[in-house]
Amino acid sequence: MFPLVTGAYWQKSGYTHLSFLHQNIPEVKSKLPNIGQTIFTVMSQLAQNEKAINLSQGFPGFDCDSELQKLVSHFMQKGHNQYAPMSGMPKLREAIAEKTRKTLSINVDPDSEITVTSGATEALFAAITATVHAGDEVIVFEPAYDSYQPAIELSGGIPVFIPLTMPDFSIDWDLVKSKVSDKARLIIINTPHNPSGYVWTSDDLAQLAAIVEDKCIYILSDEVYEHIVFDGRKHLSLLSHPQLRKKSFVCSSFGKTFHITGWKIGYCIAPKALTVELRKVHQYLTFSTSTPMQLAIAEYLEEESRYLKLSAFYQQKRDLFCEGLKSTPFKFFPAQGSFFQLVEYGHLTDCSDLDLAVRLTKENKVASIPISVFYSGNQDPKMLRFCFAKRDEELLQALDRLQKANI
């Protein structure tokens, strides 16, 4: 039973809405008062209601390989249906170590440095929770993926936002140096970057290494689009930099790599001491992740072309989409990586990005994501994000509609 409380008590303690008193249910004092439904849900819902082509949320519009599906059924039928070990199935951790050896030429210890998580989102949350104490500052580059800020705030951390430089979304390293204070505990980076597609350079890695040298600052590197880079670029993982690697949690997602976002399977690679702390959180967050799916992915990873061909697969889609965009009034720079393409429209109208995204969904039946939602202060650089991880026919139809749009 809840103790009887008076309105004055709740007001004093910060509970401002008293409607619950009529129902004898104490209202929750929100830890995230400013967080509502994400724009991804809102735009996907609108796309569905309007029967629009949904280029908003970042998920593939095609199915994963049937071989992978068969492997899951196979392992289910063989009885692999109970809890996996907390750190992940040994077979999958070994396969991830092997993939890391093949792609980055470095060795990671599957037992003490790799943890399988329920999507990269869980890995990010666990790493933030494991390292950020109340009052610690966390550097976040904006525009930023939306899960970082709430995780920082739930740990009592203070996000310090640093804008990426327009128009290419590169990093202003002098600005970063001026913002890293003695209270900084964690720097979150994302390469290839969502939403801009910016891919970190070796100079970016060197600049970051110089900033964190001799400081007790950890790095959380969100590399979920690690296998989607274009025009011959190379993804530079933080694992490939010996100094940075010692301080980094590197997170990735099989959802993005194998077109299985609904399976929510990701992983985190970090040095042993950091992994110990990450696992303490993971252990009580989800404990472990779907057993048959882990086993299926482990076997599927054996053929390296399955992830190495991903850049070429998506480059064809990026090129097709960008070619069609040339016949629209939007301005754009082709994405360097990820499966998103940004477009600029500030030269066409003063309309807010949210209004334009809604209008294009309703009038032209193409849904996108307004970029202001990736900024803490809702800055509006007059840009929209389109996801091109869709079937070619769908992309062509969307382009046809965008070409006819009256912006």
- Closest separation in Å from C-beta 406 to ligand PLP: 31
- Least distance CB 120 / ligand PLP (angstroms): 4
Of 343, 352, 389, 342, nearest in space to 193 by CA = 342
Query: Mask of contacts with ligand PLP, 64-103, x by CB under 6 A?
Result: ----------------------------------------
Residue 259 is classified by DSSP as T
**Which residue in the block uniquely carries the two structure tokens 């110089």?**
210
Residue that is written with structure tokens 């060795």 in the block: 107
336 part of the interface to ligand PLP, by CB under 6 A: no
Tell me which residues in 273-292 interact with ligand PLP (CB under 6 A): none
Taking the complex as a whole, the smallest distance from the CB of residue 407 to ligand PLP amounts, in Å, to 27
Residue type, 191: T
Among 60, 157, 266, 337, binds ligand PLP (CB under 6 A): 266
Measured at the CA of 362, the angle between CA 360 and CA 368, to 5 degrees, comes to: 40
- In this structure, the chain runs to a length of 407
Residues 136-155 that bind ligand PLP (CB under 6 A): 145
- Min dist. Cβ of residue 400 to ligand PLP (A): 27
Taking the complex as a whole, how short is the minimal distance between the CB of residue 221 and ligand PLP, in angstroms?
11
The answer to whether residue 54 forms part of the interface with ligand PLP (CB under 6 A) is no
**Least CB distance to ligand PLP at residue 215 (A):** 25
Closest CA to 118 of 354, 238, 286: 286
**Helix runs in 27-147, H state only:** 39-49, 66-77, 90-104, 119-131
HSE (side-chain half, CA atoms, 13 Å) at 234:
8
Q: Does residue number 190 form part of the binding site for ligand PLP (CB under 6 A)? A: yes
- Closest CB to ligand PLP among 53 and 126? 126
Q: Based on CB atoms, which residue is closest to ligand PLP, 255 or 370?
A: 255
Compare residues 64 and 405 and give the one whose CB is closer to ligand PLP.
64
Q: Which is nearer to ligand PLP, 75 or 141 (CB)?
A: 141
d(CA 191, CA 173): 16
Residue 253 within binding range of ligand PLP, rule CB under 6 A: yes
Q: With both helix axes pointing from N to C terminus, report the angle between 90-104 and 291-300 in degrees, rounded to the nearest 10.
A: 30
The CB density around residue 72, as the number of other CB atoms within 10 Å, is: 21
Does residue 121 bind ligand PLP (CB under 6 A)?
Answer: yes
The phi and psi torsions of 317 (rounded to 5 degrees) equal -70, -40
Choose which of 88, 143, 255, 337 interacts with ligand PLP (CB under 6 A): 255
Return the closest-CA partner of residue 301 out of 125, 81, 127, 110: 110
Taking CB under 6 A as the criterion, which residues in 150-189 touch ligand PLP? none
196 is an interface residue for ligand PLP by CB under 6 A: no
Nearest distance from C-beta of residue 178 to ligand PLP, angstroms: 26
Piece of 80-88, 114-122, 360-368, 376-384 that binds ligand PLP (CB under 6 A): 114-122
Distance of CA 26 to the CA centre of its chain: 34
3-state secondary structure of 139: strand
Stretch that binds ligand PLP, among 30-38, 116-124, 325-333, 392-400 (CB under 6 A): 116-124
Q: Is 194 in the site for ligand PLP (CB under 6 A)?
A: yes
120 binds ligand PLP (CB under 6 A): yes
Task: Report how far apart, in Å, the C-alpha atoms of 121 and of each of 95, 164, 255, 324, 335 are.
Answer: 21, 22, 11, 33, 23
Rounded CA-CA distance 387/39 in Å is 14
Task: Kindly state the tokens that stand for 354.
Answer: 């949210």
Give residues in contact with ligand PLP (CB under 6 A): 58, 119-121, 145, 190, 194, 222, 224, 253, 255, 261, 264, 266
